[in-house]
Structure 1
């Protein structure tokens, strides 16, 4: 499956190589296959669209339309037949083995992606829509010239992206990071050559999307200079942290990258429909 989508992206057929639980709340699925040898990940917070089969299907069902027409053809298909589409960050890429890792937040069988990850077995088929070139617009972490430090704010859904950013940053970069996870067992080693100070916030019984991360950033003493901030996770948290950094800390809004990975009570299908309607 080598269909190109515009210039920057293409479809990659892949199979599950392994799946294992990491911590209390995450499942790491390793995907491999000959086509992934050409996967041109840009590192950092490189995201992809992952297509999963419905229960009982041997592989994800996608339209035969090529190029930019594929999404319209996909949307026109029966929702109970067409592949489940979700957005994920590449946690790690191993080009020499034609493999990538994707971490899934596990919340039982309440969502199709979580359900699929819990039951994933070697050989299970998936499709990725990912980069055909390294410098692609699905990499959002882009510090501007003159940046002298980095601020990272993430919940567990953005933890893989934060980990990818820390692994990519060059030696000597000053980083303050705040990462919220549901359980203390979700705390991980995050290798980095940067001078990184990582604060873990264990949510416990507090509902996700709370003010815990925003409160932690508000309480922090930040060094003067020209920081670049990257904030990702639940949408209301992201808005709150961004508002604080720009309105109260005085950061240039152009130096704050923010992304609502999810919103309480709203499915990804709903979010995509909203985005499509706004674009129209």
Structure 2
């Protein structure tokens, strides 16, 4: 368990913010890959400070659940966007959503406020036999995808498909030769009128998060194999891409790393 303090917060785009955490404890975190994950602990609204569990194992979950709600921290899984050991700092980038306790914390956090992390390691492992790569994610996976791209200096031919809510959240992505980045914007892609079930003849609005990029991958030209794929985001996106790659493209299941970061309509447990 590592307790750090907020050093600064930066708005990256209307839908994303970056919080820099720092302190001597950063030395205890060994980032081992592009999608380096941590449990992030932060105080609830109204709490005077952060109360961290002490167990350096999965026993921390029991400790948190035994705390009273008045003292229990919020806990979320996050990707470390960047590490700067010399400065004893890490950056964590957040996709902002109204009504989220995490977003409320990010918007109100100030330098000196405490936050804690617990190392979860990484899942991205590019196998030696891979001759092509596919990276897919919605906005919740964008920080991990960008970190993976920065870590791999000489990657194989790569197709990247990213979905965000609005055009304002699209950003330049420095990519080496052979890496192509495709952006898919939900509020620019309403569903066909034939899908309208309101009886009004009006479009019901943007598609479900993850649906746009999933459909794009189904029709996309992929790099020649053997292919390694990493996909994360809304649960149906992650499972849908894996199913398509294995069933329709013949990619071995062992070469598809997929993670459901969240599920539409279901809030993360506190």
Indicate yes or no: 2:178 matched with 1:188.
Answer: no
Q: Map 1:100-249 onto structure 2 (within 5 A).
A: 100-108=90-98, 110-130=99-119, 138-193=121-176, 195-204=178-187, 206-249=206-249
- Worse-superposed segment, 215-224 or 238-247: 215-224
Deviation at residue 47 of structure 1 after TM alignment: 0.5
Q: Counterpart of 2:269 in 1: which secondary structure?
A: helix
State the partner residue of 1:77.
67
Whether the 8 Å contact between 1:167 and 1:193 is mirrored in structure 2 is no
Whether the 8 Å contact between 2:41 and 2:74 is mirrored in structure 1 is yes
Deviation at residue 100 of structure 1 after TM alignment: 0.7
Deviation at residue 208 of structure 1 after TM alignment: 4.2
Sort the Cα spacing of 1:65 and 1:239 in 2 relative to 1 into closer, same or farther, 3 A. closer
Whether the 8 Å contact between 1:171 and 1:195 is mirrored in structure 2 is no
- Worse-superposed segment, 119-128 or 220-229: 220-229
Structural RMSD (CA): 1.7
Whether the 8 Å contact between 1:173 and 1:194 is mirrored in structure 2 is no
Cα deviations by residue, 1:74-114 (Å, 9 ceiling, x for unpaired): 12222342110001000111111011111111123x11111
Deviation at residue 179 of structure 1 after TM alignment: 0.2
The gaps in structure 1 that reach 5 residues or longer are: 1-10, 132-137, 271-280
Deviation at residue 68 of structure 1 after TM alignment: 4.5
Whether the 8 Å contact between 2:162 and 2:182 is mirrored in structure 1 is yes
- Worse-superposed segment, 74-83 or 62-71: 62-71
Q: TM-score, normalised by structure 2?
A: 0.88
* Count of aligned pairs between the two proteins: 253
State the partner residue of 2:42.
52
Aligned partners of 2:17, 2:264: CA distance in 1, in Å? 21
Deviation at residue 145 of structure 1 after TM alignment: 2.5
- Worse-superposed segment, 209-218 or 43-52: 209-218
Q: TM-score, normalised by structure 1?
A: 0.85
Q: Counterpart of 1:45 in 2: which secondary structure?
A: coil
Aligned partners of 1:86, 1:127: CA distance in 2, in Å? 11
- Worse-superposed segment, 38-47 or 82-91: 38-47
Sort the Cα spacing of 1:72 and 1:99 in 2 relative to 1 into closer, same or farther, 3 A. same
Cα deviations by residue, 1:147-178 (Å, 9 ceiling, x for unpaired): 01110000000000001111111325211000
Sort the Cα spacing of 1:53 and 1:185 in 2 relative to 1 into closer, same or farther, 3 A. same
Sort the Cα spacing of 1:95 and 1:248 in 2 relative to 1 into closer, same or farther, 3 A. same
